Structure 1
């Protein structure tokens, strides 16, 4: 397989060198060696040294007389080293290696390290052979690594030629060949490594299994891996467990899992047998693909084969279970790990904490941390980061900030990720000032805010309406030469539009266009949306024309925004025509496109147009969303097609779409108006069965329906049960039932619910009392009306002219002159005068 690498593509050729004089032969000991003259084939500059023979003699004499470090650190050598060339240094090392290999190696290193002398290839190889001869493997690997790094990729042909021609008779030559091949492979120069192995094969030199394994690892993504494996078998080089593990990993990397499993099974009975590393590789791959159950079966097989899983084995499986959401089983494996004497490490606890975070169960994450602390394992920076991200993810920013305090007290500095997450969470809940304090804290601990950090803050300030402060931060960002990206510009533009400051937004947008930063369709879409929300469809259309003139490709969001704008302005013809324009731009209308149009047709009562759009949507294979179906249900309800609306609701569940509260509220309200409160209540119960929490609007609709079209006692029972269950209600629920009891003449019940409303903290107004008193007076319940009037005064609410007139008229009709005079006196006190 390796033979074709003899014909190296584009080999590096170096010019032949003049051979150095052999006049120094008297200085070289009689021990048989390869002379420097024979070895040398590199460029030199002989003219740089007038008398090289004298210089080399003096250096060798000095080294022998004064010792290595003393002589090399002396004034003479510091002067002469500037004139040394490769042939001279090669001669010195060749003399020293015969006398003392240690001396030669020391001279080589000190000359390189102290004087930054760039040695010849001859010197590199001489020193390599000396280290190999003394079995100083670590130093040998380091020297060859440095030589390979210096020579670079594609240097194998010339280095092999030098080794082949000039070092073949050296006793340690075989080891140098092997380490050279290993080094090329280790540092990713695969073609060089293959060339070296091809040369070694020609010389009948077997590479070590370490070299083969390194090469296999680099080739595990390719079919060439098997060619190398065949070479290993042909050479008779004993394989080890890592050889098989690399091959299995390669099959997994090539998505050949079945072959990997077969290879693992065939390993039984061979010299290497099964290995933990091989099992770990397969378990890891199955976990990554989401087949955790299959991974568990291999974990059990590993135990049956007599292999003891290590912490890495457990961590792989625990991670796979966490990703799959099987936290309970992940914890069981962690306990099993401890029962088998394998101590969970920081990675184990970190995986579990992250698993709970991904599911939003921060209480579980905290239990993991507590267990971790009890075992004497301290949380690291990454663990804290996971916890902070988790708390922020579920909206518990205060807990995230507490963790930050704990980190600082333990001497940890937050990472830029932790700060960014905290900043983003604070901005989302409009706590921009605290976010700014964190920005300054980041700078104090030496972290430099980047574009993303500033963009988060700018977006948060704009969202809060503090656009001026956002502009100041933007200017500060630019002054620090942190250049904004389109997200930063988008945040600024979005903030200006949201605050309704459309003129400032347009000015900012125009500046971006002038500076060639505004040719992003996202920025155009933000500006278009700003105009549409203010109802200025004319400016939106003008801006759309501008982007088409500049040949900026619109997105489906662009068209959806324009369609919404036309629909909002009751221009359904223009909105409908945009569907054809979308197709001209080779875009596909989305569910939002169709739903927006359908809702507009529904609002004007054009049910036929709405259903035609739904049909077109289905023909174009655009999947309707739950919002689409809600619009259709609203249209059916408007036509009192209640049966069809319920069927469509059931069809949504059948298609895997989950109706939301708005969907149910629409149908419930329709049934209430149709006096079918029984069906309305059934739909409410259906919501609960589908784990859909009704909203306050749901209960307002139900209570109103029961009050108007059903049994008032049922309305009472519903409201009281909601209060007992601590369901959040709005003031409307109470005022509805109070008015209903007033209309029925049951003042005592009205008073009870009115008082409950006050106790719940809802603020009462003159309008609330006026509504009740008007109803009571109309039913001639004067005493009850007087009761509520007194309640109003005791609550500190001053009567107005209208309510007093209503009461006066009621007293007149009853002939209660005494009450008339009393009320007139009260009116004068409040500065009111009867007509």
Structure 2
């Protein structure tokens, strides 16, 4: 047996003992026989070292394979094998390093074309475009002629990175290199153009393909059909199906699935359903039957589109046809139910999975976890994690991040911190996304020092601070009023990348350490959106405009969010003409009006009472398929009410109800005030009854109706409504109840006024004791001194028990808390200095006080001149 065969056999026997295999290889290599060959042993030992991650030994292997004297052409084959295997294993940096050193040592020995192809393909796969360019130039310099496969690799790399023009140039150069494009070449180009949404340009490729006498295959056709369906060009997609048949190709289930997938992604479920139905029913036409992929595509489309009834029917159909039996189908249905908040149904699906012997995977559990956290069922979420561990499924980064995000969304940062610590203890290390969730929440809660500490830990833990992190910091600084510091960081990012965060202080100095990722943290559109929003919010519009110009200079194209920020700011300031100039530029740059655009403009026009123009925008919203919300309607309602056009306002209000848009309390308040202002109290009462039917017995609604009735002189109705509010235990802080008592006394309805005082007292309401004064005064005028004395005594008791305030703060049981006045006193001076004209109440109070002696009512001493002055 030769030495070569012995070494190969020994290496294969010791693949699980890499250290021994490496020793055997080195021993043979140190004293080879004359006939010894490395061609077979180098690939084996290389793969053993890669699997064992013995990277240092790989470098040593490379050095030992390099001879010290001139090599013949065949002697470099082991080096080529080493580089090839490294590249295919994803170790591109090491492969290129060894390849480039080899090219410097042996420039007269050009590598074979197959090695260039392997390196180019691996570079494209790893998105290392810098290697692609270098390899192609080196290949041409070495005199190695590329083949069609080489050009296909280059074209695919350029298409994948979005450089379609360069890909087309490379395609055109194929003729110069005597390479003929094949069907794969055209397929790659067609896929690149279609993926970029350039279906029309892609058709030119199809025409060019026919000029080479090449017939498109099913893959090419399916690519075009899918692209046109996504763009909404369904007629052209249908024509391509016909053309496919004319070329002798029968559309298969993949063709139809491509069409259905594209339509489902575009939300065109009716068209997708039509194709799906034809596949099920029209077997006579030669249409393929739907497979499991087809059913899953439709199920996912229905779930994402919120068409749960259709989805449920489809699930039943899948069960009958025996195709509802894989984990993917269950997870799709599970996701649909959770998104709709149907957690009980989702739990039943999980139970069904277990009953049928199909164990939920980590993805299944994470779906349920997401639903529980969004519904604030954190205790259930914790139990689910425990169940996962019992079932042998360890929670992963997604599981913990979902729980952490749930706590952060509801402001429970301390519990989120606990999740982070638990995550690390469980050896499930958080990623940058996880840290960013917590960082955003800390800034939102104003916990700046804790946010700084987290950034420090991220740096120490080796987490790469990305552009999202930088934007979170910038947004957080804007929200706490440190706008200039945020701008300073954003400006510094152009030069220093993420290291610009170091400007905040020494806490961030460690973030500067790794400068390799600086280019990944250049300001983006989100960065400028945050800064512009902060400047506009602070009223610094001129500076915001300069930032907008700077953004354009950096070739960052503004979106509707940036434009809406300016439009909203101008409308808020009443600068409507400026807002419409921004709108014009927005449309010129191809940004469509969004929901926020219309609402901001309607708000601005409302401040100028330009009702006709507001209706025009409302109609345009409908034409664009945007449904106005309660904010939109309220702005128009407000303008109509202020203009005295209550009939038009009521008509618009009816429209809201018909369209299923629930008016809020402010909507009703506007209408009630408008009708009462015109003396239409019956109409106002009808609106009030509707509001109670929708919102229930809210204090705000009762208060506005009561106050407007009182203002309009509807004393009986106001009194009735107030008593109703008292019977329901509503807070009376916004009710002008003292005016009601005063008006009743002036109308000599002392009995009604006394009843109100008795109800307020007996039900534990905290109200202004001065409300007694007009009743005391009225009773004395009527000669009922005994009644006046009783009321005065009760008033003084109330005043001594707590503060006197006109603002009632209600506790959880509907009873108000008494407050001291701004001097910390119990409000005696407010009562005693109240000027009611006759002075009769004062006399009653003095007599009652004298009869009490030194009781609790005199705990607070007052100078004599207070009484004299009064």
| Same-fold call, TM cutoff 0.5 | yes
CA 723–348 in structure 1, closer or farther in 2 if over 3 Å, else same: farther
Are 1:701 and 2:704 counterparts? Answer: yes
1:763-789 Cα distance to aligned partner (Å, 9 max, x none): x54xx1425434533543634565566
In structure 2, the CA distance between the partners of 1:425 and 1:718, relative to structure 1 (3 Å rule), is farther
| Equivalent position to 1:528, from 535, 558, 566 | 535
How many Å apart are 1:819 and its aligned residue? 7.1
Q: CA deviation at 1:303?
A: 4.2
* Partner SS, residue 732 of structure 1: coil
* 2:349 paired residue number: 368
Say if 2:374 is the partner of 1:386: no
Partner of 2:686: 682
Q: CA distance change for structure 1 residues 723 and 408 in 2, over 3 Å: closer, same or farther? A: farther
Q: Name the larger-Rg structure.
A: 1
**How does 1:276-287 map onto structure 2 within 5 Å?**
277=254, 279-287=256-264
Deviation at 1:365, TM superposition (A): 3.1
If the length of structure 2 is used for normalisation, what is the TM-score?
A: 0.57
Is 372-381 or 508-517 further displaced after alignment? 508-517
CA distance in 1, matches of 2:643, 2:274: 59
Q: Are positions 1:666 and 2:673 aligned together? A: no
Structure 1 682/319 Cα, relative in aligned 2: closer, same or farther at 3 Å?
Answer: same
| Residues in 1 aligned to 2:38 and 2:470: alpha-carbon distance in whole angstroms | 62
Partner of 2:806: none
- Tell me if the contact between 2:769 and 2:798 (Cα under 8 Å) persists in the aligned partners: no
With over 3 angstroms needed to count, the CA separation of the structure-2 counterparts of 1:121 and 1:434, relative to structure 1, is same
**Aligned positions, number:** 662
Equivalent residue for 1:821, pick from 851, 866, 870: 851
Q: Distance in 1 between matches of 2:723 and 2:388?
A: 48
Alignment partners' CA distance in 2, 1:71 and 1:507:
62
1:380-438 Cα deviation digits (max 9, x unpaired): 22223323333444555555455445445555454544544444443343322222223
Secondary structure of the residue aligned to 1:426 is helix
C-alpha distance in structure 2 between counterparts of 1:261 and 1:564, whole Å = 47
Secondary structure of residue in 1 paired with 2:315: helix
Distance 1:661 1:576 in 2: 28
Corresponding residue SS for 2:411: coil
Higher relative contact order (CA 8 A, sep 6+): 1
| Deviations 1:337-383 (CA, angstroms, capped at 9, x unpaired) | 22333343322222122213333444443343343334333332222
Q: For 1:706-785, what aligned pairs fall within 5 Å after superposition?
A: 706=709, 709=712, 710=714, 730-732=731-733, 736=737, 743=744, 745-746=751-752, 750=756, 754=760, 765=766, 768-770=767-769, 772-780=771-779, 782=788, 783=790
The Cα shift of 1:318 comes to 1.5
Pair 1:334 & 2:315 matched: yes
In the alignment, which of 225, 241, 255 is matched to residue 251 of structure 1? Answer: 225
For 2:530 and 2:774, the matched residues in 1 are separated by 55
- Deviation at 1:325? 1.4
User: Equivalents in 2 of 1:563, 1:749: separation in Å?
Assistant: 53
In structure 1, what is the equivalent of residue 127 of structure 2?
Answer: none
Shift of the alpha carbon at 1:486?
6.3
C-alpha displacement at 1:319, in angstroms? 1.4
1:675 CA drift (Å): 3.9
Residue 327 of structure 1: how far off its partner (Å): 1.3
CA spacing shift, 1:652–1:339, aligned 2, 3 Å = closer
C-alpha distance in 2, partners of 1:818/1:61? 127
Distance in 1 of aligned mates of 2:278 and 2:545: 67
Q: 1:288 and 2:265 equivalent? A: yes
Aligned runs of 1:354-753 on 2, under 5 Å? 354-394=335-375, 399-400=380-381, 402-404=383-385, 406-407=387-388, 410=391, 412-446=393-427, 449=430, 452-477=433-458, 488=469, 491-492=472-473, 495=476, 498-499=479-480, 502=481, 505-506=483-484, 509-510=487-488, 513=491, 521-529=528-536, 531-532=538-539, 540=540, 543=543, 556=563, 559=566, 563=570, 567=573, 575=575, 591=598, 594=601, 597-598=604-605, 627=631, 630-631=634-635, 633-647=637-651, 649=653, 660-684=664-688, 696-706=699-709, 709=712, 710=714, 730-732=731-733, 736=737, 743=744, 745-746=751-752, 750=756
Separation in 2, partners of 1:619, 1:404 = 50
Tell me the SS of whatever aligns to 1:382. Answer: helix
Indicate the SS of the match to 1:290: coil
Q: Distance in 2 between matches of 1:458 and 1:247?
A: 47
1:640 deviates by 3.8
1:776-828 per-position Cα deviation (integer Å, ceiling 9, x unaligned): 33543634565566577789969641476479966666699467513763423
Moved more, 656-665 or 218-227: 218-227
In structure 2, do the counterparts of structure 1 residues 666 and 340 end up closer, same or farther at CA, with 3 Å as the change threshold? same
Superposition deviation, residue 598 in structure 1: 4.7
How far off is 1:660 after superposition?
A: 4.8
SS of corresponding position for 2:311: helix
Kindly indicate whether the alpha-carbon contact (under 8 Å) linking 1:769 and 1:788 is maintained by their aligned counterparts in 2.
Answer: no
CA contact (8 A) 1:525 1:561 kept: no
Alignment of 1:299-338 (within 5 A): 299-304=276-281, 305=283, 310-338=291-319
SS of 2:364's partner is: helix
1:69: which partner in 2? 9
Q: In 2, Cα distance between the equivalents of 1:273 and 1:587?
A: 45
Give the 3 Å change call, closer, same or farther, for CA 403–706 of structure 1 in structure 2: farther
**Preserved contact between residue 703 and residue 719 of structure 1 (Cα < 8 Å):** no
Q: Which runs of 5+ in 1 are unaligned?
A: 1-59, 91-105, 125-144, 156-179, 195-210, 533-539, 602-606, 759-763
Residue in structure 2 matched with residue 801 of structure 1 by the alignment: 828
Structure 1 residue 736, shift from structure 2 partner: 4.8
| Equivalent in the alignment of 1:199 | none
- Deviation, 1:212, is 9.1
Range that drifts further, 657-666 or 668-677: 657-666
Does the 8 A contact of 1:62 with 1:71 survive in 2?
Answer: no
Kindly state the Cα deviation for residue 748 of structure 1 after the two structures are TM-superposed.
7.5
Task: Indicate how the Cα distance of structure 1 residues 303 and 233 shifts in structure 2: closer, same or farther if over 3 A, else same.
Answer: farther
* 8 Å CA contact retained: 2:634, 2:667: yes
CA contact (8 A) 2:637 2:652 kept: yes
Mapped contact 2:263–2:271 kept (Cα < 8 A):
yes
